[in-house]
Amino acid sequence: MTNISQPLIEWYSRNKRDLPWRETKKPYNIWVSEIILQQTRVNQGIDYYYRFIKKYPDLKSLASTHIDELLKVWQGLGYYSRARNMHHTAQYLVNKNKGVFYSNYDDLIKLKGIGDYTASAIASISFNQATPVLDGNVYRVIARVYGIAESTQVKSGINKFKEILNKLIAHKNPGDFNQAIMEFGALQCVPKNPDCENCIIKSVCFAYNKGLISDLPVKKQKVKQKVRYFNYLHIIYNDNTFIEKRTEKDIWNSLYQFPLIETKKEYSLIELQKNKDWLQIFETLNLNIEKEVFTKKHILSHQVLVACFYKIRIIQTTDFLINNYQSIPLAKLDIYSIPRLIEEYLEHINK
DNA sequence: GAACCGTGGGC
DNA sequence: TGCCCAAGGTT
């Protein structure tokens, strides 16, 4: 087995991008960057990293913030459990570890929101531990170079990749090796149409020499998307509107939204007005519903939301609204963390 | 271990 | 347009 460690580290030193989290090895900063970058492209994460570090420069400041304020910083990034877990972990470390970050893989992986990848990344970059990372980039590079057709969706596959990585990782600078192979996967050994002719390790690459670049790595089976129908009620009462915090074990947990009526199929306004949830909310109120509605097909990783927004003016409120929703001034809406879908609705009506 | 959790860019 | 997929983790 040809060891590609040294060529990759040299390639990295010449080609690495200038990224803000590469200016430090402080475990807090590395942690923040690694969580932000989970399933997220670098370009999407950079601004979030700057804002996050500026507002929360250390564990203490993060631990003492309110989760709603943190989620507002996270708004638009997706996978909001990442922010909730970070908040929990910051408070845990401040309360139980004097605000000092854990400094080795075995301790790091015990923390909420930190799995094998993130524990390995922090341990190697911040503490020089030889713990190889296995992310989507590494999976692709190793599968192609060494011709591994096993999937990381099963434990045996993960072990196979880890075994190879443990032989490759540079013990002198494991953090550089980990970042090098990830950067190589992100810039050179890309998923589609990689520029193999200009690759420094093409001569030892199994997939290149066998013409199997498009067959490796073995692709994950894609999940089918469930379709849901969301009818949002943007209710205006004087200068107030009604919102609620999502608390179910579902999408957008802990984010805010307008009163929602979810239906089994697409409903017209006429049909919706006969719905029992609608009748419960409005009782026998006189409604002034604006003609223009906003519709959007919102795509999530596992769901398609067919959304319809109605702007409804009322001159009198109902017990149900008061008891089940927060009434807030219209102008205060933007301090709450809301899903991208609702943000798009607000952008639409404010045009 | 399969299902679930967001969003946006590229083609 | 629809599909892929991106520095994953939890349940």
Mean pLDDT of chain A: 96
Q: How confident is the model at residue A257 (pLDDT cuts 50, 70, 90)?
A: very high
Q: What is the mean pLDDT of residues A183-197?
A: 96
A34 is catalytic: yes
Q: How far is the CA of A291 from the C1' of B2 (A)?
A: 44
Q: How far is the CA of A282 from the C1' of B5 (A)?
A: 32
Residue A245 pLDDT > 90, yes or no?
yes
Distance CA A158, CA A144 (A): 15
Common-topology check for domains A5-210 and A226-349: no
Protein residue closest via CA to C1' of B7: A78
Residue A221 pLDDT > 80, yes or no?
no
Which residue in A10, A23, A34, A283 is the catalytic one?
A: A34
Residue A223 pLDDT > 90, yes or no?
no
Q: Tokens in use for A111?
A: 């923390």
Nearest nucleotide, CA A305 to C1': B6
C strand bases under 7 Å from protein CB: 3-10
Q: What is the mean pLDDT of residues A248-252?
A: 95
Nearest nucleotide, CA A193 to C1': B11
Q: How far is the CA of A185 from the C1' of B5 (A)?
A: 25
**Of A107, A105, A110, the residue nearest A121 (C-alpha):** A105
Strands A260-263, A256-257: parallel, antiparallel or unpaired by DSSP?
unpaired
Task: Give the pLDDT score at A153.
Answer: 85
Query: What one-character DSSP code corresponds to residue A316?
Result: S
Task: Give the pLDDT score at A222.
Answer: 78
Task: Give the pLDDT score at A296.
Answer: 96
Nearest nucleotide, CA A255 to C1': B6
Q: What is the mean pLDDT of residues A53-80?
A: 98
B strand bases under 7 Å from protein CB: 1-9, 11
Task: Give the pLDDT score at A271.
Answer: 96
CATH architecture entry for A5-210: Orthogonal Bundle (1.10)
DSSP string for residues in A222-291: PPPPEEEEEEEEEEEETTEEEEEE--SSSTTTT-EE--EEEESS---HHHHTTSHHHHHHHTT---EE-S
Distance CA A21, CA A31 (A): 10
Q: What is the mean pLDDT of residues A244-270?
A: 97
Using an 8 Å Cβ cutoff, are A16 and A183 in contact? yes
Give me the residues near strand C, CB below 7 A: A 19, 21-22, 33-34, 37-42, 79, 81, 85, 112-119, 121, 135-137, 140, 179, 182-183, 185-186, 190-192, 219-220, 222, 301
Protein residue closest via CA to C1' of B8: A44
Q: Which residue has the higher pLDDT, A34 or A285?
A: A34
Q: What is the mean pLDDT of residues A114-135?
A: 98
Q: How far is the CA of A106 from the C1' of C2 (A)?
A: 42
Task: Give the pLDDT score at A219.
Answer: 86
Q: What is the mean pLDDT of residues A115-130?
A: 98
Protein residue closest via CA to C1' of C7: A37
Nearest nucleotide, CA A155 to C1': B1
Residue for token digits 């580290």? A9
Task: Give the pLDDT score at A266.
Answer: 95
Give me the residues near strand B, CB below 7 A: A 39-41, 43-44, 76-81, 153-155, 192, 223, 226, 250-253, 298-303, 339-341
CATH architecture entry for A226-349: Alpha-Beta Complex (3.90)
Share of chain A above pLDDT 70, in %: 100
Residue A81 pLDDT > 80, yes or no?
yes
Q: What is the mean pLDDT of residues A255-283?
A: 96
Task: Give the pLDDT score at A292.
Answer: 83
Q: How far is the CA of A185 from the C1' of C8 (A)?
A: 16
Nearest nucleotide, CA A78 to C1': B6
Task: Give the pLDDT score at A226.
Answer: 93
Q: What is the mean pLDDT of residues A2-8?
A: 96
Domain boundaries, chain A: 5-210, 226-349
Share of chain A above pLDDT 90, in %: 93
Task: Give the pLDDT score at A32.
Answer: 98
Nearest nucleotide, CA A251 to C1': B5
Distance CA A336, CA A343 (A): 11
Q: How far is the CA of A276 from the C1' of C8 (A)?
A: 40
Distance CA A82, CA A171 (A): 30
